[in-house]
Structure 1
Amino acid sequence: MKNFLLGSIIVVFLLSLLGCHHNSTSSDDFNTQKEIIRGFVEPEPSNWVDYIKPIREYMYHRTQAVINNDIQILWQKYPELKHNIDLEQGVNIEKYELKPLNEGFDLLDANYNIESYDRIKVKSINEDEVIVFVHGSIGYLRNDFEESGGEYLLKIFLKQIDSQWTVVKTDEYTLPEYKEWLQEKEKQ
């Protein structure tokens, strides 16, 4: 009985030491495993909090602009988005979402989920600028109680101004970019 008890204590001790074993995977390897698209990685939890708030705020103003059919709601908050609009590249094209979603019916409400398909990814440009990759969804409730909207892929450029992150540019994936992204994702 003593041998069994002593053996059990040794096994428990060895198993507890295994739990304390240092992970030999470097943080670079870990970041490479989390990388989804070139240069974008999941932010650390403390940084995630810093980036998700301005993304939520942007999505709120964006959906309010669409519901109210008034792009000024978005542009008053983010004046830089009214410049350098490029429909073919998907840059700052929010105003083009208003008309098709408001044709033939009124929008009553909107729901968005920033991380409905995937967690946000971040790419640092410098200490005051980052790009946040968002793979989420937007649903608009119409006055006929049907829904419009769906999946979106979006790069949101944030700049730190007066110690707060703010949106200075958006780049929505066009259909060809979306198809390329799908092919790249399938390879991983």
Structure 2
Amino acid sequence: MKTFHFWSLIVVLLLTLTGCQQSSAISDDLNSKNDLEGFVDPEPSEWVEYTNPVREYMYHRSQAVINNDINILWERYPELKENSNSEKGVNVEKSEVDSLNQGFDLVDANYNIESYEQIKVKAINTEEATVLVHGSIVYLRDDFEESGGEYLMKVSLKQNDHQWDVVKTDEYTLPEYKEWLKEKNQM
């Protein structure tokens, strides 16, 4: 049984670290230094402006997983239904819902969008921004074991009626994550 839990955790981590594709306004080369250099720490006065929409997204995402119902997320963020690409990690929330609900039930979730480092922001223009999130999410299963772990993703935001809405998620694949770590350590 422990082997099953171990492999389940590995699958979750790999799915969490899948894929990456930018909107047309952002560089297509995710691992380029220019791309990494474009992200900056938000000003303290702007921090809440960016963390609140990301936290709200994580809340709906974790509720979709716990309830095994992707529509919980898609009703709030309909654009995440579109252009899903598991190879590139774009809008892969449905895969997470499906994979984490095989063989056991989930009863709770804890997430921290800054458990590994503070968010970074790349402002595209006054109406669009991308937030780099390096956090963690852990799901409590009905057998009181845990599944989940670290994630690294870019969350694309767009202004809608004076508030930021999540319009795309772009999770790093394992190779992209390794390249990101390598470049980060060189900076």
TM range (shorter): 0.7 to 0.9
2:124 matched to which residue of 1? 125
2:112 matched to which residue of 1? 113
- Between the aligned partners of 2:35 and 2:135, the Cα distance in structure 1 is 15
- Between the aligned partners of 2:132 and 2:35, the Cα distance in structure 1 is 10
- TM-aligned CA deviation for residue 36 of structure 1: 9.4
Q: Is the 8 A contact 1:92 1:169 kept in 2?
A: yes
* 4+ long deviations beyond 4 Å: none
Instruction: After TM superposition, list the pairs within 5 Å mapping 1:18-97 onto structure 2.
Output: 37-97=36-96
Q: SS at 2:140's partner residue?
A: strand
- Between the aligned partners of 2:176 and 2:154, the Cα distance in structure 1 is 12
Residue 59 of structure 1 aligns with an amino acid whose one-letter code is M
- TM-aligned CA deviation for residue 182 of structure 1: 1.1
- Between the aligned partners of 1:38 and 1:91, the Cα distance in structure 2 is 21
Kindly provide the CA deviation profile for residues 161-180 of structure 1, in whole angstroms up to 9, marking residues without a partner as x: 00010100000001111111
Q: SS at 1:103's partner residue?
A: coil
Residues 1:148 and 2:147 aligned together? yes
1:168 matched to which residue of 2? 167
- TM-aligned CA deviation for residue 151 of structure 1: 0.2
- Between the aligned partners of 2:97 and 2:126, the Cα distance in structure 1 is 34
- Between the aligned partners of 1:43 and 1:130, the Cα distance in structure 2 is 11
- Between the aligned partners of 1:46 and 1:162, the Cα distance in structure 2 is 20
Residue 183 of structure 1 aligns with an amino acid whose one-letter code is K
- Between the aligned partners of 2:36 and 2:67, the Cα distance in structure 1 is 34
1:22 matched to which residue of 2? none
2:100 matched to which residue of 1? 101
- TM-aligned CA deviation for residue 38 of structure 1: 2.7
- TM-aligned CA deviation for residue 49 of structure 1: 1.0
Q: SS at 1:60's partner residue?
A: helix
- Between the aligned partners of 1:185 and 1:145, the Cα distance in structure 2 is 35
What do you get for the CA RMSD once the two structures are aligned?
Answer: 1.3
Residue 86 of structure 1 aligns with an amino acid whose one-letter code is N
- Between the aligned partners of 2:147 and 2:79, the Cα distance in structure 1 is 27
Aligned length: 154
Give the gaps of 5 or more residues in structure 1. Answer: 1-34
- Between the aligned partners of 1:86 and 1:180, the Cα distance in structure 2 is 20
- TM-aligned CA deviation for residue 37 of structure 1: 2.1
In structure 2, relative to structure 1, the CA distance for the partners of 1:36 and 1:157 (3 Å cut) is: closer
Residues 1:185 and 2:184 aligned together? yes
Q: Is the 8 A contact 1:36 1:185 kept in 2?
A: no
- Between the aligned partners of 1:66 and 1:104, the Cα distance in structure 2 is 14
Kindly provide the CA deviation profile for residues 93-135 of structure 1, in whole angstroms up to 9, marking residues without a partner as x: 1000012211111000000000000000000111110000000
- Between the aligned partners of 1:36 and 1:133, the Cα distance in structure 2 is 11
Residue 169 of structure 2 aligns with an amino acid whose one-letter code is T
Residue 134 of structure 2 aligns with an amino acid whose one-letter code is H
Q: Percent identity?
A: 70
Residue 47 of structure 1 aligns with an amino acid whose one-letter code is E
